[in-house]
Structure 1
Amino acid sequence: MRIVIVEDEARIARRIERLTRAFFGSELDLTTCDSITQGLHALETAPPDLLLLDLNLNGRDGFGLLESVSAGAFHTIIISAYADKAITAFAHGVLDFVPKPFAEERLNQAFARVSATLRKPESGLKFLAVKKQGNIILIDINDLRYIKGAGIYTELHLQNGQRELHDKSLEKLEQLLPSSFERIHKSYLVPIAQAQKILVQEGGKYQLQLKNGELVPIGRARYKELRGRLL
């Protein structure tokens, strides 16, 4: 996933970058710009999936950036102290408007909207191809209990208790699989049909109990969205 941040305050830009990486995972192509000129160059060089845009960039209006590019080619989240410009922002077709100062939970809510929008409910993917002992075997996605990230690979945990190693990252599989698969943690992707209930632990920690009784962690940033899907 490619994301461009356009923010002229270095401290805020670093915070946005940190929270963005925490939500979307380490395998992220992230570019940070501090001016409209830099932002325009980044967008024209390689169009992103998501633009995070401030509206006051060294005294220049951030809307000028959107008007200079094809905003429909990517999603945009405005992060700005000018809350009175929210209506104008939505008229430009942005996905969300996050007012400054912002809490981590509010930015994560906007990121969750991006994730839901980028998912492909119409995906016709039925099988995952796994290379094993010189052969290729097909795993029916309905046989998956959950998928766990393992660096640049993933572990496919099957309903029969077996595990298979897949050569695509969790981020890539999340893009390929249908919307019935939910990213509940930076390292876990679960078919929502396998979910039984959410367990709230001490210290603000959450776990998802699967139908076979197995427990997998839920990231704090994912808890509210997952709870909404299960209720």
Structure 2
Amino acid sequence: MNILIVEDESRIAKRIKRMTRDIFGNTLQSLTHINTLQEALRFIENNSLDLMLLDLNLNGDSGFDLLTTAVSESFHTIIISAYKDQAITAFEYGVLDFVPKPFNRDRLEKALHKTISKENINSNDIKFLAVKKRHRIQLIPIEDVLYVKGAGVYTELFLTDGKKELHDKSLEKLEQLLASSFERIHKSYLLKMSEVHEIIVESGSKYIAELKNGVRIPIGRTKYKDIKAKWF
């Protein structure tokens, strides 16, 4: 695990570092602490990460200015903040968890455990997926996403208007965030179940989900019964 802590209070940062080391043990490869928004942005541009632990108030700067960029990246983000009223907004942007200050080890461990166990969020709060464009970040409303296809370490978002967008998060990471409305129907696909028009069985034990717009997506053999039951 390569982890970045973005926190402007050194006392709290030291506590987070100590707990994180204890929780991850030998699986922790690097643990970096940065206390300003601009430094954090530069670090993200030049380093590979698995997780960012982010405060929302950084010496007067808003952590959301960093969050918009972070959620478009390949790594997960967990918010650690006293601003509980901003939790819903943070989840809308696609964070893995929101740990309110003050916090104890058990609460932080629960949040960090999600990165290890690949536990799904099962939350309806996420409203956007952020994708990187040239010199900007675009927020794609979840309601505009029909299905997601794995593309190596990246994913492709297929939208209602026929367009396709590339996202830096893997299919596994997006599955964690989108579990409330999307199903993993195949090793390469996440599908919004409300878009399914028909489930088709073809010769040779081939299973197909036909969407309302006519697009056909394969269903994995081991997932067919479960997907069919959820669709009905």
TM-score normalised according to structure 1 size = 0.50
TM-score normalised according to structure 2 size = 0.49
